[in-house]
Amino acid sequence: MLAASIVALGAGATTARSADSQLLDVSRQVTEIQRRMAKLLETGKAADQRKLDLVAACGQLPQPSQVFRRWGDFADYALAPQGDLTESSSWTLGVNTAVVAEHDPYTPGTRSLRLLAGGQAATPVICVNQLHPTIRFFARSNGSAASTLNVEVLYQDVNGRIASLRIARLRAMPWWAPTIVVPYYVNALAALSPEGVTAVAFRFRAEGVAAASGGWTIGSLYVDPFVSR
């Protein structure tokens, strides 16, 4: 089943840009994706039929707003499908992961995602285009200071295979706050689709969490529907 494969899929190999960076250096992987895209575009071919497209939420995103304005981010963001966990039927939850009756204080909603030691979860599959370059969300960590939240983007490569790219290793404080802005790069694959979209999902993994701690809690997930001004 697709949901099972999303949880089981191995992480892409990446290395940190620096000891202080929360984003990972994925330049080698992105360059290879671009090379394969260029080869297809030169021959006038489209990417192979993508299974993720068949289950993706491809409707219009909600009206964007400046959700992170108070933190100096004046970009517009739209709530991802089921991004506030009010409805979570299309999320894929692993062990030590649950939807809980708690929410960040900055956005509407009553639920969030709790990841204890070893917990992982994948978002619903959504359609994005070349104008959706980043994600951002609210989170807090009740684990040890060394605990991190790994963020991966799951996508379909030009040959139709489901792949993953680890894009960030986030840190958080014990109170609710927005994460850094996280680019995920593979939205560029939309250039190969006749519809101008590609399907992706995001997977979160809690690492370094003490067994007796409260782990990580994730609030509303937003996508940046970039518009040139």
Domain presence at residue 166: yes
pLDDT of residue 16: 38
Domain presence at residue 69: yes
Give tens-digit pLDDT for 63-88.
Answer: 899 999 999 999 999 999 999 999 99
Domain presence at residue 33: yes
| Residue of 224, 167, 155, 152 lying closest to 192 (CA atoms) | 155
> Could you give the CA distance from residue 12 to residue 40 in angstroms, rounded to a whole number?
23
**Percent of the chain at pLDDT exceeding 90:** 52
**Confidence category of residue 13, pLDDT binned at 50, 70, 90:** very low
Domain presence at residue 208: yes
71 phi/psi in degrees, rounded to 5 = -105, 20
Question: What CATH number has the domain bearing residue 40?
Answer: 2.60.120.260
Domain presence at residue 228: no
The domain tally of the chain equals 1
| pTM for this predicted structure | 0.85
Is residue 77 packed enough to be buried (19+ CB in 10 Å), middle (13-18) or exposed (0-12)? buried
Mean of pLDDT values over 208-225: 86
| Highest averaged pLDDT of the listed ranges 4-18, 53-67, 165-179, 199-213 | 165-179
Token pair 């979209």 is found at: 197
> Could you give the CA distance from residue 116 to residue 202 in angstroms, rounded to a whole number?
18
Domain presence at residue 196: yes
The parent domain of residue 47 ranges over 2-223
For residue 95, give the amino acid letter. V
Domain presence at residue 165: yes
Give tens-digit pLDDT for 85-116.
Answer: 999 999 999 999 999 999 999 999 999 999 99
pLDDT of residue 42: 65
| Selected residue with higher pLDDT from 76 and 37 | 76
